[in-house]
Structure 1
Amino acid sequence: MARHWIATDFGGSEVLRFDETEVRAPGQGEVTIEVRAAGMNPADYKHVARGEDRSLLPIAIGYEAAGVISAVGPDSDFSVGDEVLGFRLRGAWATSVTVPASDVFAKPPTLGFPEAANLLLAGTTASEMLHVTKVAAGETIVVHGASGAVGVSVIQQAKLLGARVIGTASEKNFAVVEGFGAEPVAYGDGLEDRLRAMAPEGFSAALDTVGTDEAVRVSLALVADRARIVTITAFAEAQEHGFHVIAGVMPASAAYRDSVRSSLIALAGEGSLVVPVARTFPLADALEAIELLRSEHPGGKLALIP
């Protein structure tokens, strides 16, 4: 028997249960992973916050994990004992999980399990933000929420493209932004003026990871071309003002993110894309970890360790 986190109803942390489960043997094109670390993202619990189709319950929680292959089904290229990471999984907050092999990748030996388990959701989101806004070498961009998980990945990937990055953050997180090669600026009253002073030549693109009224307003003021503004949270504002919104549930987003998984893993393996892990928790303590994640100031990624 294994243990996993499930949502027994729609709602908050009160509907989550740490339950025993039978791990089914892998079928055609599937593998079973003995989880060494499960990644944590707000999407893990937000997708059970509200819902109407009760036939879907209970819902297994967790989209990312890293671990060791413990069983393989027919037509799998993996072997028992291989160290792997998986993305777009169902039920990754578990001690063991059987998943499609197509969503599983070899883990670079240089990458720890907690880092590997937190690489791809933030990394593919950041990559798509840069892709839809067509960020290129020599351009100056603003990233709202630059010290968060997606923001940090955006900074690193934008720097690899040769762009200059100015990122909004609280002053206590300036060192994080600077450490990854961007120039920090404090959000709050006067943000637009501070940004204009830092880049008199103007901004080519604005990438919003936070969705605040300020982030949207300043982005619209600084970037005239709406096709070069993107958000991952301000859905209504994007529709109203005609700029990009992306999300993993959108078919175009899912297809793009799937296409860049291998390249991002390679970058992480060579040390060009770093995943800062702030803290790990025992898998059984997921509710405590969620509270830290909800605080929006965890200081880096969190991982659950079976």
Structure 2
Amino acid sequence: MKALVYSDFGGNDRFELTDREEPHAGPDTLVVRVVAAGINPVDYKIREGYLRGLIDTRLPVVPGWDVAGIVEKTGLDTPEFAVGDAVLAYARADIVENGSVAEFMPVPVRTATLKPEGLSFEDAAALPLAGLTALQTLERAGVGAGQTVLIHGAAGGVGSFGVQLARRLGARVVGTASERNHAYLRDLGAEPVVYGEGLVPAAREIAPDGFDVIIDFVGGSTLDSTPDLLADGGVVASIADARARTEFGGHYVWVRPNASQLGELAELVSAGELRVEIAATYPLDEAAAAYAALEEGHTRGKIVVTV
């Protein structure tokens, strides 16, 4: 099978499109013929070697955890699925080796859910990691009706879902983004503010008493403004900065595969109640260029590789 592979840690130049042996179906594993693969920043952070010591890898590696495709083979104990089923998954295995940017992928059955008919393969591939990250972060922070929530990185892949899901929960949402994405955020139901210099007074003008919840989908220096913006008794949650927990007593969230939650998100998208923003699609033979575009860090929504 064709697959995007890197055999050593480092930059984008480590990628090569090569032939690789097709995966087999373990007892609780599906082999999925990939139709579309979603790519995420964690993929290139692993490739760069930044997460060594946290995530085990076995070189050479095919990147990608987000997959949508057709079940090609079933394992010995996978009664939930049959050959020919259309599925999607946040297919994170314990060891990074056989990812989704390939013609076939081994998918742990615990991570997979059936794809609704009304959901395209491209949208399905863009949904798993980002959608689950947004959902689980909001749940951990206890976001609910009547709260005023600040979401950092609101126009990104995770943030776009976070805005919509927080609005569905009945929260008032303010989102940080560059000015070019403000109309997009308004369309999602958020009140936009520009990040960086001027954020604190602009956000305080919107929420004079501070924010009940601050969600960080960016990292870096994003949480520096938290003491000036968090309401008394407010909650902080981050997917990228442990200070959310160590300094502010909140939550540091690492997304977990959850087939049930993913199925619920997929149904929302299929019903038109949750929007998937796809910035660009690339064919498999241009997958390295897809990662190069992602690494520029200015993507609105998701990038998908079609196989």
1:267 maps to 268
CA contact (8 A) 1:7 1:15 kept: yes
2:165 maps to 157
Q: Higher relative contact order by CA 8 Å / sep ≥ 6: 1 or 2?
A: 2
1:68 maps to 70
TM-score (norm 2): 0.90
CA contact (8 A) 1:177 1:184 kept: yes
SS at match of 1:293: helix
SS at match of 2:223: helix
User: How far, CA to CA, are the matches of 2:249 and 2:47 in structure 1?
Assistant: 29
Matched, 1:82 2:85: yes
1:226 positional shift: 7.1
CA contact (8 A) 1:227 1:244 kept: no
User: How far, CA to CA, are the matches of 2:137 and 2:105 in structure 1?
Assistant: 30
* Residues 68 and 54 (structure 1), Cα distance of their counterparts in 2 relative to 1, 3 Å cut: closer
1:227 positional shift: 6.4
CA contact (8 A) 1:150 1:209 kept: yes
Higher strand share: 2
2:95 maps to none
* Residues 237 and 299 (structure 1), Cα distance of their counterparts in 2 relative to 1, 3 Å cut: closer
User: How far, CA to CA, are the matches of 1:139 and 1:282 in structure 2?
Assistant: 42
Q: Which runs of 5+ in 1 are unaligned?
A: 249-253
TM-score (norm 1): 0.90
Bigger shift: residues 119-128 or 24-33: 24-33
Bigger shift: residues 101-110 or 155-164: 101-110
Q: Which runs of 5+ in 2 are unaligned?
A: 93-97
Bigger shift: residues 228-237 or 92-101: 228-237
Matched, 1:244 2:243: no
Name which of 129, 134, 144 aligns with 1:136: 144
1:240 positional shift: 4.0
1:223 positional shift: 1.3
User: Within 5 A, what are the aligned runs for 1:290-305?
Assistant: 290-305=291-306
RMSD: 2.1
Q: Deviation digits for residues 264-300 of structure 1, max 9, x if unmatched?
A: 2222222222211111101111111111111112232
Bigger shift: residues 216-225 or 80-89: 216-225
2:227 maps to 220
Matched, 1:181 2:189: yes
1:200 positional shift: 2.4
Matched, 1:27 2:26: yes
User: How far, CA to CA, are the matches of 1:36 and 1:207 in structure 2?
Assistant: 33
CA contact (8 A) 2:32 2:72 kept: yes
* Residues 24 and 233 (structure 1), Cα distance of their counterparts in 2 relative to 1, 3 Å cut: closer
1:73 positional shift: 2.6
2:110 maps to 102
User: How far, CA to CA, are the matches of 2:57 and 2:205 in structure 1?
Assistant: 55
1:233 maps to 240
User: How far, CA to CA, are the matches of 1:238 and 1:55 in structure 2?
Assistant: 27
